[in-house]
Structure 1
């Protein structure tokens, strides 16, 4: 698997699974009816922030990550990232590779920590992955997310010192 900078030409492949993940309403706090143009502007970030894709040996885009400063001004030393793995390729290490890549980017860029503001507590695979990479749950906003199956569930704030 290769992780490289995302390009405008990658967007159609990203959008296919991005739309599927967002409209499922299980893991992101994005509007369920998020339009393609707005989604593209939210996901494809510009320097100094980054968006990458994980690409299989056959050139298929398996997943994507965006990484950025979590705050501005005197809080700009804290990074954040978001990940989407095409559901057809889940369980194959794509999420771990993307998360490791973003942590390496944050360290190399001089960030002191990475924070995830809203990890849905029922997204147990993501929570397990993040914890295995050194993240801890700082707190949970009770009923902060309206899950389509489980109803109101918590949103974790997760942190990893770099």
Structure 2
């Protein structure tokens, strides 16, 4: 990170694709945290990450893309007031505040777009670091899907639905 510890979040562009894939590939290949086929191709993964209704972003520190997110409408129609988001941090940058910066950016962006809440549809319960971070960012576990995720090491583990009311202002 920069000496000031600053992380800059900006919209992702075509030239970011290789850096985003370098972040997503090891996460997807591990198969421990996302409901994505472990053998997904680069192009299919990037098409999914950039697919409407989502907007993709990157977190940059020291001139390097160290994280990525995509944020957009969770469901259409009456549910269109709820945003959804996904986040990924480069393995070399974990524990450096990248994911925290991305989630706070996502919440600000979603509020500015008129969303009233943000929901994570499927957080793998064994992803303790993410669950802890999302709770610190104001998300609550509002649902548990018993044994809904086939973890490559731990077998069937729970999926969590997490929710944050964006109308209540900023989290401390």
TM-based fold match above 0.5: yes
What are structure 1's unaligned runs of at least 5 residues?
Answer: none
Q: Does 1:39 align with 2:71?
A: no
Would you say how many aligned residue pairs link Structure 1 and Structure 2? 160
The answer to whether structure 1 residue 55 and structure 2 residue 65 are counterparts is no
Matched with 2:143 is: 139
- Normalized against structure 2, the TM-score is what? 0.90
Deviations 1:114-155 (A, max 9, x none): 000000000001000111111100111000101111111000
Structure 2 portions without partners, runs of 5+: 1-6, 167-172
CA contact (8 A) 2:83 2:115 kept: yes
In the alignment, structure 1 residue 113 sits paired with structure 2 residue 106: no
Q: Which has the larger displacement, 48-57 or 21-30?
A: 48-57
Which residue of the other structure, out of 65, 70, 89, is the alignment partner of 1:66?
A: 70
Confirm or deny that 1:10 pairs with 2:20.
no
Q: Distance in 2 between matches of 1:124 and 1:149?
A: 15
Residue 45 of structure 1: how far off its partner (Å): 3.9
| Partner-residue secondary structure (3-state), 1:42 | helix
Partners of 1:74 and 1:17 in 2: CA distance: 34
What root-mean-square deviation, in Å, do the aligned CA atoms of Structure 1 and Structure 2 show? 1.0
